[in-house]
Amino acid sequence: MNSLAATLPQGTGSGYVAAAYIVFFAIVLIYVAIMAIRLSRVERDVRELHARAGQPPQQPPQPAARPGDVGEPQLAEQPQLGARPRRQDETHGQTPEPHTPVRERETV
Amino acid sequence: MTDNPPTANDARRSSARPPGLAATVGALLGKDLLVELRTLESVPGMSLFAVSTFVVFHFALNQNTVSGDEAAGILWVTLLFAAMLGVNRLFVADAEQGGFDGFLLAPVDRSAMLVAKALALLAYLIVLELVAVPAFGLLLLGSPLGQALPGLLAVLALADVGIAVIGTLIAALAVRTRARDLLGPLLALPLLVPVVIGGARASSPLLSIVHPGGLQLRWLGTLGLYDLVFGLIAYAVFDFLLED
Amino acid sequence: MIELDGLVRRYGEREVLSDVSLSLAGGQTLVVFGCNGAGKTTLLRVLATLLRPHAGEVEVLGCRLPDDAWQVRGRIGLLGHEPLLYRELTPRENLRFHARLHGVGTERVEELLAAVGLVDRAGEPLKTLSRGMVQRVAICRAVLHDPELLLLDEPWVSLDPAARELAWPLIGAGTGPDGRRTRVISSHDPGGGLAEADLVLGLRGGRVALLREAGSVDPSEITELYR
Amino acid sequence: MPIGRGLRTLSISTVAAMGVALGLVFFYAPIEAEEGFLQKIFYLHVPLAIVSLCGFVLGGLMAIAHLRTRDQRWDLRSYVTIHMSLILGVVVLLTGAIWARGSWGHWWVWSEPTLVSFLIVMLLYATYQPLRFAIEDPERQARYASVFAITAGAFVPMNFLAVRLSSSYLHPRVLGSSSNLPPPMALTFGVSLGAMALLFATLCSYELAAKRTRILLKSSSRILGYR
C-alpha cells in the first residue's frame, strides 16, 4: 500500500483515493472468486449426483431419478461404487448406525 | 439387607413444591461457593494473577509509581484479565460433571442459573479487588489510595456488575464449545471495552497527582447503562444456552 | 403415562430417532433394548425433557412435550451415564443441593443415604468414593423427589450385586408413589432387564424394531437386535 | 425455498447504482475545499461503514427471529448477514486507514471515535465464525450463534456511545455525519449509500442462494442414499 501510494501524485490525495477504491473492488472481487471456487465444487458434486442418479438405486427410500436423466455418459460410465458397499455395511453389519452421535450425550 | 424401602409419604409429597427464584438462586449460589471454597480454583488464582501482573507492569514500564491515566489503565487491565480467569472456570464443573442436566431436570426457573452464576462471579470479583486494589496502592500507585477510595468503590461496584453479567453470559456460551479457554476471553474482551472505558476514565482523575479530580457522573452513567442493557439482554437470551 | 406418536429427533440432518410410537400405561415398566447408538439414550433424554422432540407427539405424565415440559419437570427422575453430581462435594452436600432444587426436605436425604448404606461415607468428597458408591448416590439423586416416572439408562452397569440389592427398593418395580411408579429402562445387554419389563422396545438405528408385551418376547429376539 | 429469485433484478440494479454512484463521486460532486480530492474516500468509506453496522444489527434482529420461531432459515440469514458485514467491515477499516494516512499522515488515529468503535466491533464479530465452528451439534450451533448475534448487535450502539464519550476533544473533521453537506455532496452521498446497501443485499442473497444450494445438494445426496 505504501509503494502504491508513493507512485501516485501525493499533493491531491488522488493516490489515496485510488488505493481506497482499489481495495474496495479488490476485496469484493476476492469474495466473488472464492464464491466461484465454491460454485465449481457444487457443480462437481451435482455432476457426481447426476451420474449416480443414472444407476439403479441400491435402496431407494424415494425414487432416485427419472430414467431420462441419465445424460453425461462419460461420467456415468465410471460410477463411484466406493460408497455403495459401505452403505451395505452400514445397514447389515455389526453396527447399523456407525455415525450415531455418542458425542451428543457427552456434549449436552 | 434393607427392611423398609423409603418411599415418600403423602404428607411429604404435598410439601415438596417447586422452589421459587430466590430459593433456587440460593441453592445454586451456595453450591458454587461451597465448591469454590473446597477447591479454591478461581479466587486465589485470580488474586495472585493480579498481584503478579502489577509486578510485571513495574518492570515492563520501568516505573516505581504510576498515577492518573496510567494508573487507571494498569488497574483496569489487570482486573479485567484476572476476571477472565474466573470467567473461564465459571461453568466448567457444571459442564463436565453434569450439573447442567441436574439443574435442567429440576422444576425451577432457568434464569436462576444466570442470577446465581453472576452473583458468584461478582463475589469472586469482590474478593479479587479486596486483594488487588490494596496491593495496587502499595506497589504502584503514586497518589494516596485513601482519598480515591470512595469514588473508586462506586466505579468498581458498577463495573463489577457489568463484568459479572457479560462474564456469565460468555462463560455459558463458551463452556460447551471446543477451545473454550480461548473463545471465552476472545468474546469477552471486546464486549467489555465499554466497561474499561468507563472504569478507567472514571478512575483516572481519582488516581491523579497532577490534576486530581472528583468522580465524573457521565462515566458512572455509562457503566450503569451498560449494566442495565446487558443485564436485560443476558436475562432474555440465557435460557437458550441451556436447552437442547 | 407415556404416549409417543411418530417421535423424531435429529442430530443435524440425520435422524437419531425416527418415527417412534408407543404407549405405556402408568405403573408399568418399559425396557428399551438396542446396541450402542441405537437411540436409547436419546429416547430417555427426550422423555426427561432434556432434548426437544423435532416431530411427532410426545406426551409424558399427561403433559405434552416440549410445550408443557415445565409441568413434568420435577416429576421425572433420571439416572444416566453420568451421575450428575459434583465431584468436589460430598454425597450429603450433593443430595441436599438437589433436594433444595426440588423443594424436598433434608430428612429425605438422610433416609436415602441410610437406605443405600452410605451414611458412613456421606461426609467425604465424591471424588474419593468408588464408582459403585457414586452410582448409589446417583440413584438417591434420581429418586430424591419420589418421581412418578423413573428413567434408568443402563442402570446395572456399575453396580455390583450387593449394591443392586441395596438399590433395588429404590428403583425396582412397585416403588414410588403408591407403589405405582412408571419406569423406562434402557439396556445394551441382551440378557439383562427382560425380567423387569412389562413392555419391550427394541431399537435399531433409531427405528422401532420390536415392540411387544414382555411375556411374548423370546430372549433370542432381543439377541437378534444386537447383531 | 426459492433459490436465487430476484437475484437478477438485484444484481442489475446494484451494478447500475454503483455506476451512477461512481459517476456522481468523480464527475459531479464538487471537490471539497479543505481536503480536496482526498474527500472522495468519504463516499466509499462512510456508506460502507453504515451498511456494515446496519448489517450487524440486522443479523441480531434475525437471530431474535430465529430464537423465537426456531426456524433454522433465520439463523442462516443471520449468519450470512453477519458474514457479509464482516467482509465489508474489512474494507471499512482499510479505507479508513488509507483516509487517515492521506489526511493526517498516520495509518491509524485513535482520535477518530467512529473508526475506533468500528475496530472494536470488528474484533468482536471476528469471533463469530470461530464460535460457530467450535460447536458441533448444528442445532446448538445455530442457537449459540444467535445468542451471540443478539448480544453483539446490542453491543454495537452501546460501544459507539462509550467510545464517543471517551474521545476527549472534537475531531477536526466530520467523518461520520452528513448533516451539513452541500446539496450536491449530500446527493452523491445518498446515492453511494443506496448503492452500497444494494451491493450488500446482492452479496447476501448470492451467498444465501449458494448456502441453500449446498444444503439442498447435501440432503438430496442423503435422500438418494449416497451418503
Average per-residue pLDDT in chain C? 88
Average per-residue pLDDT in chain D? 87
Element holding C20 (H helix, E strand) = strand C14-24
Residue B101's Cβ-count burial label (10 Å; 0-12, 13-18, 19+) is buried
Q: Å from B239 to nearest chain A CA? A: 14
The model carries a pTM of 0.86
Residue C102's Cβ-count burial label (10 Å; 0-12, 13-18, 19+) is buried
What pLDDT digit, counting tens, does each position of D13-35 carry?
Answer: 999 999 999 999 998 888 877 77
- Which residues 98-137 in chain D show a CB within 8 A of chain A? 98-99, 101-102, 136-137
Give yes or no for a contact between C125 and B39, defined as CB atoms under 8 angstroms apart.
no
- CB proximity list for D220: less than 8 A, separation 6 or greater: A49
Q: Which chains touch C (3 or more CB pairs under 8 A)?
A: A, B, D
Does position C165 have pLDDT exceeding 90, yes or no?
Answer: no
Residue C82's Cβ-count burial label (10 Å; 0-12, 13-18, 19+) is middle
D204: in domain: yes
Q: Which of B91, B105, B113, B239 to probe the C interface (max C CBs under 10 A)? A: B105
D51: in domain: yes
D4: in domain: no
pLDDT at B154: 93
- The average pLDDT across C105-124 equals 91
Higher pLDDT, A75 or B225: B225
Q: Which residue of C has its CA nearest to D219?
A: C13
- Range in A42-56, B132-146, D47-61 the model is least confident about: A42-56
In chain D, which residues have their Cβ closer than 8 Å to the Cβ of B187? 124, 127, 131, 148
D163: in domain: yes
What pLDDT digit, counting tens, does each position of A24-79 carry?
Answer: 999 999 999 999 999 999 999 888 888 887 766 555 444 433 333 333 333 333 33
- The average pLDDT across C139-160 equals 87
- CB proximity list for B67: less than 8 A, separation 6 or greater: B141, B142, B143, B207, B208, B209, B210
- Which residues 58-97 in chain A show a CB within 8 A of chain C? 91, 94-97
Amino acid at C194: L
Query: What total of structural domains would you count in chain D?
Result: 1
Give Cα separations from B21 to B100, B238, C71 (angstroms).
Answer: 17, 15, 16
Report angle CA B177, B180, B183 to the nearest 5 degrees.
105
Q: Which residue of D has its CA nearest to C14?
A: D222
Query: What is the percentage of chain B residues whose pLDDT exceeds 90?
Result: 70
Residue D175's pLDDT band, with cuts at 50, 70 and 90, is: very low
Does position C8 have pLDDT exceeding 50, yes or no?
Answer: yes
Does position C183 have pLDDT exceeding 80, yes or no?
Answer: yes
Q: What is the largest CA-CA distance in chain A?
A: 77
pLDDT at A56: 60
- The average pLDDT across B150-167 equals 95
pLDDT at A57: 54
D112: in domain: yes
Collect contacts of A34-38 with beta carbons under 8 A, ≥24 apart: A35/D206, A35/D207, A35/D210, A38/D210, A38/D214
Contact at CB, B241 and D144, closer than 8 angstroms: yes
pLDDT at A60: 45
Give Cα separations from C55 to A1, C200, D184 (angstroms).
Answer: 56, 23, 58
Q: Which of C100, C111, C164, C165 to probe the B interface (max B CBs under 10 A)? A: C100
**Under the phi-then-psi rule, with left for phi > 0, alpha for psi from -120 to 50, and beta for the rest, what region is A14?**
alpha
Which of A95, A101, A108 minimises the CB distance to C16?
A101
Give yes or no for a contact between D23 and D84, defined as CB atoms under 8 angstroms apart.
no
Residue B57's pLDDT band, with cuts at 50, 70 and 90, is: very high
- The average pLDDT across B123-134 equals 96
Q: Give the helix, strand, coil percentages of chain D, each rounded to 5.
A: 80, 0, 20
Give the integer Cα–Cα distance in Å for C97 and C103. Answer: 10
> Other C-beta atoms within 10 Å of C75: how many?
18
D177: in domain: yes
Looking at C79-214, list the stretches that DSSP marks H as alpha helix, in order from N- to C-terminal side. 91-102, 106-115, 131-143, 161-171
D18: in domain: no
- The average pLDDT across B155-184 equals 93
pLDDT at D3: 53
Contact at CB, A16 and D207, closer than 8 angstroms: no
In chain C, which residues have their Cβ closer than 8 Å to the Cβ of B7? 146, 175-177, 179
The dihedral formed by the CA atoms of C167, C168, C170 and C175, expressed in degrees to the nearest 10: 180
What pLDDT digit, counting tens, does each position of D88-110 carry?
Answer: 999 999 999 999 888 888 898 88
Would you call A108 an interface residue with chain B, using a CB distance cutoff of 8 Å? Answer: yes
Which residues of C fall below an 8 Å CB-CB distance to D?
Answer: 10-14
Give yes or no for a contact between D96 and D108, defined as CB atoms under 8 angstroms apart.
no
Does position C40 have pLDDT exceeding 70, yes or no?
Answer: yes
Which of C88, C165, C177 minimises the CB distance to B1?
C165
pLDDT at D5: 63
pLDDT at D7: 85
**Under the phi-then-psi rule, with left for phi > 0, alpha for psi from -120 to 50, and beta for the rest, what region is B15?**
alpha
Residue A11's pLDDT band, with cuts at 50, 70 and 90, is: low
What pLDDT digit, counting tens, does each position of B193-224 carry?
Answer: 999 999 999 999 999 887 777 788 889 999 99
What pLDDT digit, counting tens, does each position of D144-172 carry?
Answer: 999 999 999 999 999 988 888 876 544 44
D122: in domain: yes
Domain that holds residue D99: 44-224
- The average pLDDT across C32-40 equals 87
Give yes or no for a contact between D75 and D146, defined as CB atoms under 8 angstroms apart.
yes
Give the integer Cα–Cα distance in Å for B204 and A40. Answer: 57
Would you call A3 an interface residue with chain C, using a CB distance cutoff of 8 Å? Answer: no
Give yes or no for a contact between D24 and D191, defined as CB atoms under 8 angstroms apart.
yes
- The average pLDDT across B117-124 equals 97
